[in-house]
Amino acid sequence: MRHKPIIAITGDSLRHRYFLHQVAPRVHARTAFVEASRYPAPPAANREARSAWNWYFERRAAYEARRFGAAARPPGPPAPTFIPLAHGELNTPATLERIRDLDPGLIVIFGTSLLKAPMLEAFGGRIFNLHLGLSHHYRGSSANFWPIHDGHPETLGATVHVVNPGIDTGAVLACAPVGLDPGDDEQTLAVKTLILGCRLMTETVGLWKSGRLRPHPARKVGRLYRMSDFTPEAVLRVRRMVESGELKQLIEERDARRP
Mean pLDDT (the chain, rounded): 94
199-231 pLDDT, tens digit per residue, is 999 999 999 999 999 999 988 899 999 999 999
pLDDT of residue 219: 80
What is the pLDDT, as a whole number, of residue 79? 83
Percentage with pLDDT > 70 across the chain: 97
Point out which residues pair with 109 in neighbouring strands.
Answer: 9, 129
CA 174/CA 99 separation, integer angstroms: 25
Return the DSSP state at 59: H
pLDDT above 60 (res 82): yes
Residue spans of beta strands (DSSP E) within the chain: 6-11, 29-35, 81-85, 106-110, 127-131, 138-140, 157-162, 172-177, 223-225
pLDDT at position 37 is 86
Predicted confidence at residue 2, as pLDDT, reads 65
pLDDT at residue 255 greater than cutoff 80: no
Domains and CATH numbers, the chain: 6-257 (3.40.50.12230)
Q: List strand residue ranges (DSSP E) for 18-105, in order.
A: 29-35, 81-85
pLDDT of residue 3: 78
Does 178 score more than 80 pLDDT?
A: yes
Cα of 75 vs its chain's centroid, Å: 18
Share of the chain above pLDDT 90, in %: 88
Burial class (CB in 10 A: 0-12, 13-18, 19+), 93: exposed
Contacts (Cβ under 8 Å, ≥6 apart) of 198: 18, 19, 22, 23, 130
β-bridge mates for residue 172, sequence order: 161, 216
Per residue in 149-174, pLDDT (tens digit) is: 999 999 999 999 999 999 999 999 99
Give residue-wise pLDDT tens across range 131-142. Answer: 999 999 999 999
Indicate the pLDDT class of residue 39, thresholds 50, 70 and 90: confident
Residue type, 54: N
Assess whether pLDDT exceeds 70 at residue 1: no
- Output the pLDDT for position 38: 80
Which residue did the predictor score with more confidence, 235 or 38? 235
Cα–Cα distance for residue pair 86/160, rounded to 1 Å: 25
Are residues 148 and 238 in contact, defined by beta-carbon separation less than 8 angstroms? yes
- Between strands 157-162 and 172-177, the pairing is antiparallel
Angle, helices 14-27 vs 186-210, to 10°: value is 20
pLDDT at 257: 63
Please indicate whether residue 37 or residue 93 has the higher confidence score (pLDDT).
Answer: 93
pLDDT at 92 over 90: yes
pLDDT of residue 256: 60
